[in-house]
Amino acid sequence: MLLLLPIGLQAQVRTERLLEKGWRFTRDDAPAFAEPSYDDSRWQEVTVPHDWAIYGPFSAGNDLQHTAIAQDGQTQAVEHAGRTGGLPFVGTGWYRLRFEVPERNEGRRCTLLFDGAMSHARVYVNGREAIRWPNGYNSFHTDITPLLNPGGENLLAVRLENLPESSRWYPGAGIYRNVHLIVTDEAHVPVWGTQIITRRADEASARVRQCTALAVPQGKSPADYAIETAVTDPAGRIVARHRQSAGADFGDHCFEQEFTIDRPALWSPDTPALYTSTSEIYEGGELKDRYVTVFGIRTVEAVQGEGFRLNGKPLKFRGVCLHHDLGPLGGIVNESAIRHRIRLLKEMGCNAIRTSHNMPAPELIEICDETGMMVMAESFDEWETKKVENGYHKEFGQWAERDLVNLVRRFRNNPSVVMWCIGNEVPDQWNGDRGPKLSLRLQNICHREDPTRPVTQGMDAPDAVTANNMAAVMDIPGFNYRPHLYARNYLRLPQEMILGSETASTISSRGIYKFPVVRRSMPRYDDHQASSYDVEHCGWSNLPEDDFIQHDDRPYCMGEFVWTGFDYLGEPTPYYSDWPSHSSLFGIIDLAGIPKDRYWLYRSKWNPEAETLHILPHWNWKGREGEVTPVFIYTNYPEAELFINGRSQGRRRKDTGVTIDNSADSVSAADLKRQRRYRLMWMDTRYEPGTVKAVAYDEEGNAVAEREIRTAGEPYRIVLEADRTVIAADGKDYAFVTVRVEDRQGTPCPLADNEIRFEVTGAGYYRAGANGNPASLEPFQRPRMKLFSGMMTAVIAPTERPGTITVKATSPGLKKATVEIRSEAATQR
Ligand code: GAL
């Protein structure tokens, strides 16, 4: 397929388009694939973003790792079957695309920008290597003008290669993020060429400085050009303008412009106000470039003894760590999937995301800007010392600076990014000499590229890093786990603040409950699940309340980033060797995007203004009649009464007398003492079929809310619920359809595992599905799947033709269901 830039665009000073369609793809490998003359017509036709491995099939043999995970306390090598998800990401893949650029490209520059390609990219244009970039998560760009056939057809070829044992989770595979083709004049603002800094800001006014780089043709100097910048507020009104005439001394090819903005709308999670700067570059009277930068006005500070401040106000992080995969969609970037996730997190009261352990997709950051979600943007999981055999330690020496520079330059204008993270539990922590030096070096690179944001890293060896000063040299010392050591770490640190850079690692499976209900570390069950009573964790980790209490009671604790917001592909701890197990159990939300019970615990704490009154477990325990079956309530209210079949089981109140110190011993831990401060627990209720009702009371003792669950009868009908019933007819605005089974009375059936078949007709198709079962090996793309704990999610894609999409779900013995989704052309929207 030939890609032509629309003729009209040639007249524009700058054009940018995504190279999405018409790619050819193969898993074979040969040097000839870079050559324009090679015939690729037999290759698979694919659309980018594309993840070649998510189509499976799952197999224990895919990237089977035989190793001891030191971080997890393993001293002897064991077999790790699903560590990277059991999907076929290892090996090579080639992508080829034929494209044209405007005929009159005399005096024009052409740049390719990759948002990320997994991994070890080698990019060829017309048979010649244009750039290579090993890190699969990072953005990189290159000017391809000299390699182009003026006015003719060009061939872009990309070779990717993923090594075995190169990751600790599912990395995805392929050109899984967007590729941009940017055409400019010879005189132009280069990629990521602006830097906009809030110098100071309060409600009355803000001072903002913009630096703009300029690339100029040979024989010219930046002083030959003028720049005019206009800043518009969130409503599109021009609020500042500045013109710098030609002839000035632009020093290091960088125009500096300063703006005062009265009564600025400050960016924050509650007020995600975005400003736009549009800079025009002129040579004489001729417009050469128009460059748009979206930014926010806000200040961030890490204050000694106090913690983090946004716009001068103290703020604690209620954050989650997120790996990059989008569950059944794999590594591909997709805006609608990201929005769906952020909606769920915001509704839970989450205010920050840590992009563990790598550079995020630009779409994620832009959506965080827009919706008000702070970001800790991370770079590396390894420095010089290896965690996995073929990990980033092999590239670190040569690439670390370039990788970090690209991360910072790409996202330095995004207001959601409030700090940089240079590493995660790097084994260099234990190296008293190298650890602190490397920390300083990487932190300094961040400061050099961006003097406004603090830098942190997640460290899990508190004794080592407080002894060798690796923690002391950081702007913000970030600690992974071990909250019981925070107070001691604090005394050893000049910054007098502690960030919970990674916390909890509580494990659970949605809708699965284990008896007796006891706190357990690294439990393993035959079904490869973990209990949704939220009492199970890893050897190094803890329960949510062990973190809540620290950040509530110690003013210097800055808040936390929970491991993790969503389940992700790979790392099915503690089922290291127990295949099948393809995804993690750490998520507050499962791989299908369905909240687990824990979601309501975090919501009750993090979003106290919203009413939460959640009862667990489900009430379908045939065979457990008369047996002790504890009931927990997660609520924002201080007190509740529980009724089983109308009989009161007593009133419970959150125990505010529990403190860090009086609950620090092992007996208190086993007794779930801290949990009594944050959840309401009836530990000795007995099961009998019927109803479980909760009545919540406010501080004044008024009954303010009521909730009831009941024992479900036989599965009777399928119920479909789409997150949106109107989407864009652009091929990528997916709808997320929640699928559940109910009995005749409309009670959800929590044990239903019926296989549901989908038939999608009209202007869309079945894109993928997931049920959140980490031990399922059903392919995500097949339009039929078994429910897990009574539910699953179907992802429906629109075609590019507007119309109605009909999703029909059937299963033998169940009443079928349909849902209609309308897809509209951009002009209709
Ligand atoms: C941490 C690590 C994460 C993940 C987590 C599981 O040590 O930083 O990447 O492995 O443990 O608890």
CATH of the domain at 782: 2.60.40.10
What element of type H or E holds 441?
helix 434-449
Nearest Cα residue to atom 7 of ligand 1: 71
- Tokens read off for 281: 């570059």
Output the ligand 1 site: residues, CB below 6 A.
71, 357, 424-425, 460, 480, 502, 505, 538, 541, 563, 571, 573
What pLDDT score was predicted for residue 251?
64
What pLDDT score was predicted for residue 104?
52
What pLDDT score was predicted for residue 253?
65
Residue 206: give the domain boundaries. Answer: 194-295
User: Residue 118: which CATH number?
Assistant: 2.60.120.260
> Is 603 inside any structural domain?
no
Q: Relative to the CA of 584, which ligand 1 atom is closest?
A: 6
Catalytic choice (425, 536, 639, 641): 425
> Are residues 773 and 673 part of one domain?
no
> Are residues 652 and 739 part of one domain?
no
> Is 741 inside any structural domain?
yes
Strand residue runs (E) in 533-674: 536-537, 557-563, 613-616, 631-635, 639-644, 647-653
Nearest Cα residue to atom 12 of ligand 1: 505
Summarised one tens digit per residue, pLDDT across range 163-209 is 999 999 999 999 999 999 999 999 999 999 999 999 999 999 999 99
591 Cα: distance to centroid of ligand 1 (angstroms): 17
> Are residues 467 and 340 part of one domain?
yes
Do residues 659 and 553 make contact, with C-beta atoms less than 8 angstroms apart? yes
> Is 490 inside any structural domain?
yes
Q: Relative to the CA of 505, which ligand 1 atom is closest?
A: 12
Q: Relative to the CA of 502, which ligand 1 atom is closest?
A: 8
> Are residues 457 and 370 part of one domain?
yes
Overall domain count for the chain: 5
> Are residues 738 and 703 part of one domain?
no
In 3D, which of 685, 686, 706, 682 has the Cα closest to residue 694? 706
> Is 599 inside any structural domain?
no
| pTM, two decimal places | 0.97
> Are residues 403 and 340 part of one domain?
yes
Query: Is 280 labeled as catalytic in the residue annotation?
Result: no
> Are residues 563 and 483 part of one domain?
yes
Summarised one tens digit per residue, pLDDT across range 802-822 is 999 999 999 999 999 999 999
What pLDDT score was predicted for residue 252?
64
Residue 324 half-sphere exposure toward CB, CA atoms < 13 A: 32
Q: Which of 562, 593, 624 is the last residue of a domain?
A: 593
> Is 764 inside any structural domain?
yes
Residue 739: pLDDT band (50, 70, 90) is very high
Catalytic choice (161, 502, 536, 742): 502
738 Cα: distance to centroid of ligand 1 (angstroms): 30
> Are residues 392 and 326 part of one domain?
yes
> Is 425 inside any structural domain?
yes
What pLDDT score was predicted for residue 105?
64
225 Cα: distance to centroid of ligand 1 (angstroms): 51
> Are residues 466 and 367 part of one domain?
yes
Mean pLDDT of the chain: 96
Cis preceding linkage at 564, omega within 30: yes
535 Cα: distance to centroid of ligand 1 (angstroms): 18
> Are residues 97 and 12 part of one domain?
yes
Q: Which of 242, 263, 295 is the last residue of a domain?
A: 295
What pLDDT score was predicted for residue 696?
98
Residue 443 CA to residue 460 CA, distance in Å, equals 18
User: Residue 357: which CATH number?
Assistant: 3.20.20.80
Residue 103: pLDDT band (50, 70, 90) is very low
541 Cα: distance to centroid of ligand 1 (angstroms): 9
**Ligand 1 pocket: which of 380, 563, 569 to mutate (most atoms <8 Å of CB)?**
563
Query: Is 502 labeled as catalytic in the residue annotation?
Result: yes
> Is 601 inside any structural domain?
no
> Is 780 inside any structural domain?
yes
Q: Tell me, what DSSP letter sits at residue 748?
A: B
> Are residues 705 and 647 part of one domain?
yes
Q: Relative to the CA of 357, which ligand 1 atom is closest?
A: 9
Summarised one tens digit per residue, pLDDT across range 522-558 is 999 999 999 999 999 999 999 999 999 999 999 999 9
Residues in the chain, how many?
829
507 Cα: distance to centroid of ligand 1 (angstroms): 12
Contacts of 119 (CB under 8 A, 6+ apart): 134, 135, 136, 160, 161, 162, 166, 171
Q: Which of 532, 561, 593 is the last residue of a domain?
A: 593
> Are residues 265 and 134 part of one domain?
no
Summarised one tens digit per residue, pLDDT across range 688-718 is 999 999 999 999 999 999 999 999 999 999 9
Summarised one tens digit per residue, pLDDT across range 588-621 is 999 999 999 999 999 999 999 999 999 999 999 9
Residue type, 348: M
> Mean of the pLDDT values across residues 676-680?
98
**Ligand 1 pocket: which of 325, 457, 505 to mutate (most atoms <8 Å of CB)?**
505
Summarised one tens digit per residue, pLDDT across range 416-439 is 999 999 999 999 999 999 999 999
